[in-house]
Amino acid sequence: MRKVVAIISVLITGFLTYYFFVKSYDYLITIKAKTSVGTVNQSIKLWNGNLDSATLLTQNTLNNLTQQITINDSIHLYDWNIKSLNDSSSVINVYIKDINNSFFNKITMPFGHTNFEKRVTRTVIDFSNKLTEHLSKIKVRVQGIASTPQTYCAYVSMTGLQIEKARGMMKNYTFLSNFLYEGHVEMNGTPFIEISRWNKEKDSINYNFCFPIIKSDSLPKHHLISYKQQESVKALKATYNGNYITSDRAWYALLEHAERNAIKVSETPIEVFYNNPNFGGDELQWNAEIFMPLIDQE
């Protein structure tokens, strides 16, 4: 009997030591999302930017972000861990800690629903609702291996954040199309964007906004416009429907598909657009083809 009591005492002591002093969070909320890790990552950042007194502290990988939300005199840390389940779904574990009241929370939460628990649950539900709303406005489908279009093109080079990509395209669409029209340049297809550098940690890109044209010996000159031959390459392809601001959701879907199927790709996506955002309309009818070039072109 003494042995049993001793073992139980050790187990209880060990549990209490872990619960109060080792466990790094106060509360865990788990949700599922029918989308890629990258889309969840970007959605957290967008949602965070619309919150009062919220700051993103760190991003170790696409799968992990740490967020701080200040409410009155409380500072809450949200540690977001996102795991891909398959090509179309992810699980999100949110580990939450109240910096100033962690010990108190751990004492009171086993005995009922505390204000802290209710507050952080509402916060995570708010994010989940915003994510669901976003997903209802886009469609991403991975198609498989294909070839990118081959064409001669006129292009403008730009740098900026991923979320600014569509704005840059709209800004230069009229400029580039009018310049080519006035220079009597014959068009040869729909515009596309070529990403030359993608910093996933900072969400920044270097890219070329390109208009396919027929090559000639008398192309007009402009200090902001360059010309080049765009060769066709093998790539992993997806189709995207929705506002072009968030067409990068297809990039993440392609990266996950490539990783899951051991396909080596270059993280320099190409987007071919079939609608002009300046004309508006039903965004779910906007269509784009997204290509992630293969490293092995054999």
Whether residue 16 lies inside any domain: the answer is no
Whether residue 37 lies inside any domain: the answer is yes
Does the pLDDT value for residue 103 go beyond 50? no
**What CATH number has the domain bearing residue 30?**
3.30.530.20
Q: What is the residue range of 89's domain?
A: 22-136
**What CATH number has the domain bearing residue 210?**
3.20.80.10
Rounded to the nearest 10 degrees, what angle do helices 115-135 and 37-49 cross at? Answer: 120
Q: How far is CA 123 from the centre of its chain?
A: 20
Whether residue 117 lies inside any domain: the answer is yes
Q: Is residue 172 domain-shared with residue 132, that is, in the same domain?
A: no
Whether residue 182 lies inside any domain: the answer is yes
Helices (H), 136-248: 165-182
Whether residue 8 lies inside any domain: the answer is no
Q: Is residue 154 domain-shared with residue 66, that is, in the same domain?
A: no
Q: How far is CA 195 from the centre of its chain?
A: 15
Whether residue 7 lies inside any domain: the answer is no
Q: Is residue 181 domain-shared with residue 88, that is, in the same domain?
A: no
Q: Residue 246: what residue type?
A: T
Q: Which residue has the higher pLDDT, 82 or 107?
A: 82
Q: Is residue 83 domain-shared with residue 172, that is, in the same domain?
A: no
Q: Is residue 102 domain-shared with residue 168, that is, in the same domain?
A: no
Residues whose CB falls within 8 Å of the CB of residue 130, separated by 6 or more in sequence, listed in order = 43, 47
For residue range 28-61, what is the model confidence (pLDDT) as tens digits?
999 999 999 999 999 999 999 999 889 998 898 9
Residues whose CB falls within 8 Å of the CB of residue 128, separated by 6 or more in sequence, listed in order = 31, 33
Q: Is residue 164 domain-shared with residue 211, that is, in the same domain?
A: yes
User: What was the pLDDT predicted at 194?
Assistant: 97
Q: Is residue 191 domain-shared with residue 130, that is, in the same domain?
A: no
Q: Is residue 118 domain-shared with residue 155, that is, in the same domain?
A: no
What value does the mean pLDDT of the chain take? 88
Does the pLDDT value for residue 226 go beyond 90? yes
User: What was the pLDDT predicted at 108?
Assistant: 58
For residue range 139-177, what is the model confidence (pLDDT) as tens digits?
999 999 999 999 999 999 999 999 999 889 888 999 999
User: What was the pLDDT predicted at 22?
Assistant: 39
Does the pLDDT value for residue 27 go beyond 90? no
Does the pLDDT value for residue 14 go beyond 50? no
Q: Which of 114, 136, 158 delimits the end of a domain? A: 136
For the chain, what is the total number of helices (H) and then of strands (E)? 6, 13
Whether residue 14 lies inside any domain: the answer is no
Q: Is residue 124 domain-shared with residue 144, that is, in the same domain?
A: no
Token pair for 160: 């900026």
Q: Is residue 128 domain-shared with residue 147, that is, in the same domain?
A: no
User: What was the pLDDT predicted at 64?
Assistant: 96
Q: Which of 136, 168, 192 delimits the end of a domain? A: 136
User: What was the pLDDT predicted at 267?
Assistant: 97
CA–CA separation, 277 vs 263, rounded Å? Answer: 32
Whether residue 282 lies inside any domain: the answer is yes
Q: Contacts from 114-122 at CB under 8 Å and sequence distance 24+?
A: 116/26, 116/27, 116/74, 117/27, 119/71, 120/27, 120/29, 120/76, 120/78, 120/96, 121/29
Q: Which residue has the higher pLDDT, 191 or 11?
A: 191
Q: Is residue 132 domain-shared with residue 263, that is, in the same domain?
A: no
User: What was the pLDDT predicted at 3?
Assistant: 59
Does the pLDDT value for residue 7 go beyond 60? no
Q: Is residue 149 domain-shared with residue 101, that is, in the same domain?
A: no
* Domains held by the chain: number: 2
CA–CA separation, 171 vs 164, rounded Å? Answer: 11
User: What was the pLDDT predicted at 178?
Assistant: 94
For 18, 40, 140, 228, the CA distances from 284, given in Å and listed in that order, are 49, 19, 11, 32
Does the pLDDT value for residue 17 go beyond 50? no
Q: Which of 136, 154, 187 delimits the end of a domain? A: 136
Residues whose CB falls within 8 Å of the CB of residue 136, separated by 6 or more in sequence, listed in order = none
Asked if 97 contacts 24 with a C-beta cutoff of 8 angstroms, the reply is yes
DSSP H/E element including 111: none
